[in-house]
Amino acid sequence: MPTTCVVGILWGDEGKGKVIDYLAAEADFVVRYGGGHNAGHTLILPSGKLVLHLVPSGIVHTHTRNVIGNGVVVDPVHLCGEIESLRGRGIAVELGRNLLLSERAHVILEAHRRQDHWAESVRSGGRIGTTGRGIGPAYADRCSRIGLRLGDLLDEARLRRGVQVIAEQKNAWFEPVGLEPLQVDAVVEQLLAAGAKLRAGIVDTGGVLRRAFADGKRVLLEGAQGCLLDLEHGTYPFVTSSHASTGGAFSGTGLPPHVMRVVGIAKAYATRVGEGPFPTELNNETGERLRAAGKEYGSTTGRPRRCGWFDTVAVRYSGAVSGASELVLTNLDVLRGFAPLRLAVAYRLPDGTRTTDLPAFDLDRAVPEFEDLPGFDVDVSEVRRFEDLPANARNYVQAIERLTGLPIRTISVGPGRNQVVLR
């Protein structure tokens, strides 16, 4: 199959960066289809650690063309900085050659960041836990049909008209609520400067990808965040503002719908950053041990991640929604020394009913039922063959397969590129 889509199965941070890096070796194109620079993929390269926010992970491979698709929202100032820092690391980034930017991708403005912080600060009933980077407001402006697109940065008159419209809409309420208004000239000047730097890369990426697809090129689609943060299918309203699951892969790139291989990435336990329901969360010493063992701190924000047991109810749901045909299980090494290993197999709902489906409401009141398995207290980070894993680790992997219905052929046992167990 020429197209592979890599999606996070729960709330992101599953280690997609490493898996994409691994699969990119075989890809002609690596494409981001959604999200913004709130996403962070961590790669451990021979030269050291590299965290990417917006640029697709294929950038470290010399043969791949990397695409920021139309479904992504782009902060042009951030993108220029990320490109500079990659070049500073000796990674060749040539706009128009190995990095292409959709002319249709929407633009994040400084005003969106101000709006983001303001919306969180006044929200009653609990924060959403956004990264405050203006991503939600930029998507909202896209829906309100006042957004700017990257292609607008290449035409001063069109850009000025667009900024004028946004300023009219936003300043009418920014000023009354005490937010700094948009200064049209300053915004235009800043965006023109960023547009001049990015110009060579801003193209019709949908057309490029459709031609590549027709020519049988291998396209790797890189999901950001995870299925349970999908705007439609996630744990609404504690979700991101884009279609993080596989559905976004077509609308966010302009590729025609077609059958593709979907690889779901799941950690051997569960984590979540920010607010929102998390049935298997461990608010205790075991959770703290998991956080420490897995170094569970956000790669973009440094926020501590909430940790809990593997949830087969949630994974089965996300597997179905995303169309995943297999799971890659990451961070198995982290579970060393934890016993028993617990797998959530069902939820008990507030009305007493038992369910094995993920409910759309009241997930925060669902109490998980667990199946307990014996642990393993062996360092597995150097294991490369499934048969060489301790029996209890193999049992655990096989129990996840049985309970989720998804085969696991690839197991990651450490952050390094070669720390992979294949079956």
Residue given tokens 């292609």 in the structure block: 151
For residues 56 and 147, give the distance between their C-alpha atoms in angstroms, rounded to a whole number: 23
Q: Which of 28, 44, 336, 409 binds ligand GDP (CB under 6 A)?
A: 44
Tokens of residue 295, six digits: 């170094």
Q: Which of 40, 206, 247, 375 binds ligand GDP (CB under 6 A)?
A: 40
Query: Which entry of 21, 28, 37, 41 is annotated as an active-site residue?
Result: 41
Please, what sign has the CA dihedral across residues 58, 33, 134, 148? Answer: positive
Task: For residue 14, give the nearest of 249, 222, 301 by alpha carbon.
Answer: 222
**331 binding ligand GDP? (CB under 6 A):** yes
Backbone angles phi, psi at 281, to 5 degrees: -60, 140
Q: Which residue lies nearer to ligand GDP by CB, 331 or 404?
A: 331
**42 binding ligand GDP? (CB under 6 A):** yes
Binding mask 91-120 for ligand GDP (x = CB under 6 A): ------------------------------
For residues 347 and 313, give the distance between their C-alpha atoms in angstroms, rounded to a whole number: 8
Q: Which of 7, 16, 153, 208 binds ligand GDP (CB under 6 A)?
A: 16
How big is the site for ligand GDP, counted in residues (CB under 6 A)? Answer: 21
Nearest approach, Cβ of residue 35 and ligand GDP (Å): 10
Nearest approach, Cβ of residue 417 and ligand GDP (Å): 10
**17 binding ligand GDP? (CB under 6 A):** yes
For residues 356 and 405, give the distance between their C-alpha atoms in angstroms, rounded to a whole number: 13
For residues 16 and 37, give the distance between their C-alpha atoms in angstroms, rounded to a whole number: 15
Q: Check residue 152 and report its DSSP letter.
A: G
Query: Which entry of 13, 75, 230, 333 is annotated as an active-site residue?
Result: 13
Tokens of residue 271, six digits: 């984590």
Nearest approach, Cβ of residue 102 and ligand GDP (Å): 21
Tokens of residue 157, six digits: 């008159």
Q: Catalytic residue at 243?
A: no
Q: Which of 3, 4, 18, 93 binds ligand GDP (CB under 6 A)?
A: 18
Q: Which residue lies nearer to ligand GDP by CB, 14 or 230?
A: 14
**413 binding ligand GDP? (CB under 6 A):** yes
Q: Find the part of the chain contacting ligand GDP (CB under 6 A) among 212-220, 328-336, 345-353, 392-400.
A: 328-336
Nearest approach, Cβ of residue 414 and ligand GDP (Å): 5
Q: Return all residues near 249 (Cβ < 8 A) that are at least 6 apart.
A: 5, 33, 221, 223, 255, 260
Q: Return all residues near 277 (Cβ < 8 A) that are at least 6 apart.
A: 235, 238, 363, 364, 366
Binding residues for ligand GDP restricted to 263-302, rule: CB under 6 A: 299
Asked whether the beta carbons of 114 and 180 are under 8 A apart, the reply is yes
**375 binding ligand GDP? (CB under 6 A):** no
Asked whether the beta carbons of 348 and 359 are under 8 A apart, the reply is no
**412 binding ligand GDP? (CB under 6 A):** yes
Q: Check residue 188 and report its DSSP letter.
A: H
Q: Which residue lies nearer to ligand GDP by CB, 40 or 359?
A: 40
Q: Which residue lies nearer to ligand GDP by CB, 22 or 347?
A: 22
Q: Which of 334, 335, 344, 363 binds ligand GDP (CB under 6 A)?
A: 334
For residues 39 and 34, give the distance between their C-alpha atoms in angstroms, rounded to a whole number: 10
Q: Which residue lies nearer to ligand GDP by CB, 34 or 195?
A: 34
Q: Find the part of the chain contacting ligand GDP (CB under 6 A) among 102-110, 116-124, 202-210, 410-418.
A: 410-418
End-to-end Cα separation, the chain, in angstroms: 20
Nearest approach, Cβ of residue 146 and ligand GDP (Å): 30
Q: Find the part of the chain contacting ligand GDP (CB under 6 A) among 11-19, 23-31, 69-77, 107-115.
A: 11-19
Tokens of residue 27, six digits: 């890809």
Amino acid occupying residue 33 = Y
Q: Catalytic residue at 258?
A: no
Nearest approach, Cβ of residue 307 and ligand GDP (Å): 13
**15 binding ligand GDP? (CB under 6 A):** yes
Backbone angles phi, psi at 378, to 5 degrees: -130, 140
Task: For residue 4, give the nearest of 14, 15, 25 by alpha carbon.
Answer: 25
**378 binding ligand GDP? (CB under 6 A):** no
Tokens of residue 260, six digits: 């593709």
Residue given tokens 């199959």 in the structure block: 1
Alpha helices for 92-155 (secondary structure H): 110-122, 135-143
Q: Which of 7, 9, 10, 13 binds ligand GDP (CB under 6 A)?
A: 13
Positions marked catalytic? 13, 41
**Residue ranges in contact with ligand GDP by CB under 6 A:** 8, 12-18, 40-42, 44, 299, 330-331, 333-334, 412-415
